[in-house]
Amino acid sequence: MRLRARLSAAAALALALVVGGPAVAASATEPVELGSTRVYDQVDALSPQQEFDAQARIEQLRTSTGLDLWVVFVDEFTNPSDARGWATETAEQNGLGPTQYLLAVAVDARQVYLSGDSAGPISFDQLGAIEQDRIFPVLATDDWAGAVDATAEGLEEADQAGSGGTMVPNPLLPSISDVIWTVLLVLAVVAVGIVILVIVIRSRRKNTTTAPGVAPGPPAVPTEELRRQAASALIDTDDAIRTSEQELGFAAAQFGEAATTEFAAALQSARDKLGQAFTLQQQLDDDVPDTEEQVRAWNTQIIQLCAEANQGLDEKVDAFDELRKLEADAPAALVRARDARTAAASAIDEAAAALSALQGSYAPEALETVDDNVDQARARIAFADEQLTDAQTALDAGETGEAAVGIRAAEEAVGQAVVLETAIDTLATDLAAGDRQAAAVIEGIEQDVRTAMTLPDPDGRVAAVIDVTRGDLDAARAELAGTRRRPLHTLQTLQATDQRIDELVQSVRDAAARSQRVAQQLGSELAQAQAQVSAAENFIAARRGAVGSEARTRLAEAGAALTRAQQLQGVDPEQALGEAQRANSLAGQAVQYARTDVGGFSSSNDMFGGGGGGGAGSSFMGALLGGIVSSAISGGGRSPRSYGGGFGSFGGGGSRSSGRSGFGGGGRRSGSFGGGGSRSRRGGGRF
């Protein structure tokens, strides 16, 4: 039994040596930019079905553990001797964080590296064990899809074991000593096996024809099973679309055409995808012979098209489900909406008083993100009143569907009124914090001035900087003591002064003092960035009907930069400071773009009889500005879910499963899959 096990390991090692033998010339690939999907396959290592299964497996890993995984397949790393450096650089360039991992595979160079963060929950020893015990064996047999599955399984097990846990070795793998003994024992057998296998592989390559545009590879499932899955998907999707067409008619009659516009578009998109799938099935059914590769590729594409068609319908389900629930309980929902409206309306006077108090202490520029919030809140309440009145009328007439749409619009209008009101209190808190931060920065700069005065000054440069700094401090104190304060703007000016004096005294500070100073500067920068991002979010949220993509893009980037700054605060304060400064700048740009968009919208409003009064016209235009009129009745996309028949769960579907081929034997060797070494990726996060 012992000899048989060793001979089996030797055969597996021989196969790994043969597959990794005569290499085809590959082009080195620079570190790549990862996209929104978790699998980056530059070399078509995976079939479409395998890539779909890999994405699903990674999503399952994230759901069960909170860990995230990216997988990259390339020909060859830029520096073939440094797989770790390539993977680490890719991870850092793409901002992967402590709970995010990268599996980098150079297919032609036969190298692999599993990159993780030193601050992450999986230790380096555990990552090394995952490489050795799980990833290497499946890659040795060119099972690229199996490598994804093996990595996910290893991360799940390591997460369950904890940071200091011990990975359970793969019982199918021989020990390193067994491999060495086996190699020495059957060296002649391996040599003969290599020759035979090379001849067989070359013969197969010579005699195999591949369909244009179809990537060769081992089948994920048998071809007949793939045919069955495709046929089932066609039937289920066709039934789902027919059912959805009927339900669309019911929904239009129940809630009105306006409430079903987006679903009608999703239904048409699903019809188009199903039409493409039927066209492919017709090609499979005609009299023209198809190659095995074409049969597999077309059936895989049919399954994918059907899945996309069902997903498009499924994304609209929850919005209608909510309307149907609201319709079923319309009288009670109407009461709740009225109660919420009363509470929001009663808070407007308090918000107006708070804004008036701020206007007595701060400059208009400091309040520009909330200066019309009271008027906007009143307009939202007026619009909610109109919708609630219409809903009551519809309810009295027995038109519960129309009542549900009106109640939904009123609820969103009231919600926006609350956002507008609370934004004033939020800004008041941020401005007060800005006052305190500015005072702290002034104190720090004064300490820097005292330090600078002790420096040698042969050319008068130190004295000149001190004079300018004192002038800046006097101006800042005067501004903070007045009734037209701009604490966030003052903070910006003080930070420039702080940087200038810092550069002067940097040479006399030791590392500890420097770190403390950076932390202090970071605190004020984070406070300002948080205030800027908060103000921009509140401004855009209540005026989204007029705000375009430029403002939204900069706000999203500002939020991401602020999050990275907060994550890096305790790890790399200097890098965190840069991210906070970037967040501050982007949030300011977002506000400027948003105000420009709102100004253009207001001009159009005036042109068509809008105005700022409290009448029905102004309330309706306010609802347009807030984006209520369209969004309240159409709903948004939801996360995909399973779908059976009937309204609210359009179409059909089933579960997918993925597997990987058996384990191959073999240990590390020069030129075969290898990895290891220390890892140094740190900090950050991906959004």
Low-confidence ranges of the chain (pLDDT < 50): 1-25, 163-181, 183-184, 186, 188-190, 192, 195-196, 198-219, 253-254, 508, 511-512, 611-616, 633-678, 682-687
Q: Are 118 and 97 in contact (CB under 8 A)?
A: no
Q: What is the pLDDT of residue 79?
A: 80
> To which residue do tokens 């075969």 refer?
672
Maximum pairwise Cα distance, the chain: 95
Q: Are 449 and 470 in contact (CB under 8 A)?
A: yes
d(CA 359, CA 585): 24
DSSP state of 485: B
d(CA 246, CA 315): 18
Q: Are 83 and 104 in contact (CB under 8 A)?
A: yes
Distance of CA 587 to the CA centre of its chain: 19
CA atoms within 13 A on the CB side of 292: 11
The residues, any chain, with a CB within 8 Å of residue 390's CB and separated by 6 or more, are: 402, 406
Cα dihedral 46→47→48→54 (10° resolution)? -40
d(CA 159, CA 164): 10
Q: What is the pLDDT of residue 377?
A: 93
DSSP state of 99: T
Q: What is the pTM of this model?
A: 0.40
Q: What is the pLDDT of residue 256?
A: 60
d(CA 104, CA 343): 55
Nearest Cα to Cα of residue 649 among 344, 324, 363: 324
What is the three-state SS of 538-593? HHHHCCCCCCCHHHHHHHHHHHHHHHHHHHHCCCCHHHHHHHHHHHHHHHHHHHHH
> To which residue do tokens 């030129």 refer?
671
The residues, any chain, with a CB within 8 Å of residue 361's CB and separated by 6 or more, are: 483, 485
Q: What is the pLDDT of residue 406?
A: 85
Q: Are 367 and 358 in contact (CB under 8 A)?
A: yes
Is the Cα dihedral 563, 568, 570, 575 positive or negative?
negative
